Amino acid sequence: MEGRVEDIIEDILSQLAEGNEEEDEVDYSSYYDDLYERAQSPLNLNTATREQLESLFFLSDIQVENLLYYLYMYGDMQTVYELRLVEGMDEESIRRLLPFVVVEPGERKPDKLYAREVWRYGRHELYARFGGNVERADGYRVAEGEERAYEGSPLHHQLKYRFHYKDRIWAGLTMEKDAGEPFLINKKGYDFYSAYAQVSGMGVLHNLVLGDYRAAFGEGLVVRTGFSLGKSAEVLNTNRPPSGLRRSGSADEYNFFRGAGATVRLGDFDLTAFYSHKKIDGDTAGGSFPSITRTGLHRTATERSRRHAVRQQVAGGNVTYTHGRLQVGATALHTRLSHVLQPVPMLYNGTYFRGDRQTTAGLHYRFRLGKLHVYGETAMTRGRAAATVNGFSVNPTPRLGLVVQHRYLSPRYDTFFARMFSQTTSRCMNEHGVYMGVEVQPFRRWRMSGYVDLCRYPWPRYGVPSPSTGTECLLHVEYQPQSDWRMYWRVRGRLRQAADTRTTRPTEELVMRDQWQLRYVLDRTYGRFRFQTLLYGNLSRRADAAWTYGVSAVQDVSYTFAHIPLRLDFRYQFFDARDYDNRIYCYERDVLHAFSIPMNYGLGSRYYLNAKYDLLDCLTVWLKVAQTVYADGRTEVGTGRDRTPGNRRTTVRALVRWKF
């Protein structure tokens, strides 16, 4: 059962990750954890609130609205099979939803909390993860008379403890040391510590978080820490990761708040206030710093000098009114830094925020009128830079869904914690675009979806010395003749204006950069075997230059043994992507709670073996060994201090989980 849940979670996140493949800051592990915890404590559909359904972020707004409308019109469900009667819930959506929900009678009022029951029926989990590269990088090598650059060992290790009781209480502690970091920094052991506690459903006090947490309200124009959905084959998912205050047990060292927050529910009003005080990394030489360092790496003396050099204080609040099909709210956020943020003057960053204090506020709304769902948010900074996003989604028939979204993000709207659905998820600014998506089921067992996103950038961007335009489009066709096998075809295009790399003159006219990606996937389950075949291809060119290409073929085989608690996953991948513009990203299975989308560039092959073994009912071990071998004549892999001699790179990762 657990293996099936892991398969579904990975399928959900791998689909959503395709819109963020090249975004280094996206951290999916916390959302993997959320779904995994939800599978351990399934949500009762008959008592589910909008907030709880929205935490299942793979559901579209249309599906959430239709599910709530069905419960409102027809009362409690008697069986999960009634999901087939909800408009917009196709077989694939139901398959994904089933591990996380149940249908049971029950009152909507939360049970009282008793310390004895919390301790007796709560679930404790302890994780220990270790890993690293087998080949020794240059940063660990020491020449005679020299000191090595990386001060710590190449071993990465992490300890994590989690506790949760039903859907009411959560607590956790995370400790991590990255590869290359010394284990005893300032005699404090691990380089990074994170702890949290969250309690919900205590009468008027609807939610309370202490320690490390995430915050998200509205469409994310004011605040959304954590990950924001990108564009993918789930074309109707445009605006809604989980909202409110939620614990953060991730090892991401930047995208979280540290302090306390609470939500009070008074009738139809939710009033939220939160405060954060933490230290962030930055080069503070001269009393200011040019940028926030978000890697979380402290391996060298230079990286350690930036560690926790800037204090960041954040105070914010939200008021939301929800009544029937209408929801409106207001969010405000104030950030204060101990040093002045002063980016090095460049053409592209002329509109970036500069200073040590920033205030942002916005209004958000959503309402439903029949089968029409309308939503949006408008925000403004203290410097009067504005941003707005507005859209609607509609289900005119059960087999057809449409979504249209317009966004305008001023070039000067540069805020610390805004993240939203856009072409550039890493920085929420300098965009004016329209997104249109459609999903249709023309025949039984067939699903087609697609989108077009038209965008204009009013100000120069990094590597683009003047205003530019961009277009993205996608077509996805899926066929599932039986519940145990499916296939899909996908074409995705990106057409953007870029600088002409054939000249060094910055005022030269822009040229078009065209990129097309093609993908075919066949997924088949046969008994205890699961086979997945993937074919990738892409084409790229700049201006009138010749097209370059990249191709990759992947074969996955998984087997779950009948008489021993062992599961094996094996992959072999071939790739040929000689040009960097044709690099290929491919999701792969990892140890529990890890999420891997390695980049394949050059000519070579990659393979891995992933094993999961239950030593006891309460003790489970995962082990992954992966290796990439290049056949393009290279004699070293990687760059800089991460460079290793030879033509291969081998990674080993292990995780142990103890449940008690």
Nearest to 278 by CA among 194, 176, 388, 372: 194
Mean pLDDT of 288-312: 92
Share of the chain above pLDDT 70, in %: 92
Mean pLDDT of 350-363: 95
Q: What pTM was computed for the model?
A: 0.91
C-alpha span between 408 and 417 (Å, rounded): 17
φ, ψ of residue 293 to 5 degrees: the values are -85, 120
Please name the amino acid found at residue 534.
L
Nearest to 550 by CA among 522, 585, 523: 585
Length of the chain: 660
What DSSP state is assigned to residue 180?
A: T
Predicted pLDDT of residue 1: 55
Nearest to 363 by CA among 381, 384, 378: 378
Mean pLDDT of 248-269: 93
Nearest to 474 by CA among 445, 457, 488, 453: 453
Q: Is 573 within 8 Å of 584 (Cβ atoms)?
A: no
Look at residue 25 and tell me whether its pLDDT is greater than 80: no
Predicted pLDDT of residue 423: 67
φ, ψ of residue 608 to 5 degrees: the values are -150, 160
Confidence band of 484 (pLDDT split at 50, 70, 90): confident
What DSSP state is assigned to residue 276?
A: E
Q: Which two tokens stand for residue 316?
A: 């914010």
C-alpha span between 536 and 518 (Å, rounded): 6
Confidence band of 202 (pLDDT split at 50, 70, 90): confident
Predicted pLDDT of residue 378: 97
Predicted pLDDT of residue 146: 58
- What pLDDT digit, counting tens, does each position of 608-637 carry? 999 999 999 999 999 999 999 999 999 999
Predicted pLDDT of residue 426: 67
Helix (H) or strand (E) holding 372: strand 372-381
C-alpha span between 39 and 5 (Å, rounded): 7
Provide the sign of the torsion angle of the four alpha carbons 185, 187, 190, 196, taken in this order.
negative
Average per-residue pLDDT in the chain? 88
Q: Which two tokens stand for residue 646?
A: 């030879």
C-alpha span between 23 and 347 (Å, rounded): 22
Look at residue 544 and tell me whether its pLDDT is greater than 60: yes
- What pLDDT digit, counting tens, does each position of 442-479 carry? 988 899 999 999 999 999 998 888 899 999 999 999 99
Nearest to 232 by CA among 440, 14, 465: 14
Provide the sign of the torsion angle of the four alpha carbons 242, 478, 521, 577, taken in this order.
negative
Q: Which two tokens stand for residue 593?
A: 């709670």
Mean pLDDT of 232-236: 83
Higher pLDDT, 29 or 583: 583
Look at residue 229 and tell me whether its pLDDT is greater than 70: no
Confidence band of 436 (pLDDT split at 50, 70, 90): very high
Range with lowest mean pLDDT among 89-98, 130-139, 621-630: 89-98
> Burial letters for 623-642: b for 16+ Cβ neighbours within 10 Å, e otherwise?
ebebbbebeeeeeebeeebb
C-alpha span between 584 and 601 (Å, rounded): 7
Please name the amino acid found at residue 521.
V
Q: Is 220 within 8 Å of 387 (Cβ atoms)?
A: no
Mean pLDDT of 490-500: 90
Q: What is the 3-state secondary structure (H, E, C) of 137-172?
A: CHHHCCCCCCCCCCCCCCCEEEEEEEEEECCCEEEE
Provide the sign of the torsion angle of the four alpha carbons 79, 80, 84, 86, taken in this order.
positive
**Cα 8 from chain centre:** 16
HSE-CB at 80 with a 13 A cutoff on CA atoms is 15
Look at residue 228 and tell me whether its pLDDT is greater than 70: no
Provide the 3-class DSSP secondary structure of residue 349. coil
What is the number of H-type helices and E-type strands within the chain?
7, 33
Predicted pLDDT of residue 20: 56
Q: Are strands 192-202 and 156-165 parallel, antiparallel or unpaired?
A: unpaired
Mean pLDDT of 170-195: 88
Helix (H) or strand (E) holding 185: none
Provide the sign of the torsion angle of the four alpha carbons 149, 151, 153, 156, taken in this order.
negative
- What pLDDT digit, counting tens, does each position of 96-112 carry? 899 999 998 866 666 77
Q: What is the 3-state secondary structure (H, E, C) of 203-271?
A: CCEEEEEEEEEEEECCCCCCCECCCCCCCCCCCCCCCCCCCEEEECCCCCCCCCEEEEEEEEEECCEEE
Predicted pLDDT of residue 272: 97
How far the first Cα of the chain sits from its last, in Å, is 19
Predicted pLDDT of residue 24: 47
Nearest to 497 by CA among 515, 470, 519: 470
Look at residue 145 and tell me whether its pLDDT is greater than 60: no
Provide the 3-class DSSP secondary structure of residue 380. strand
Provide the 3-class DSSP secondary structure of residue 3. helix
Provide DSSP, 45-95.
TTT--HHHHHTSTTS-HHHHHHHHHHHHHH-S-SSGGGGGGSTT--HHHHH
Mean pLDDT of 308-321: 97
Which residue reads 């086979």 in tokens?
531
Nearest to 513 by CA among 496, 530, 529, 499: 496
C-alpha span between 94 and 127 (Å, rounded): 31
What DSSP state is assigned to residue 464?
A: B
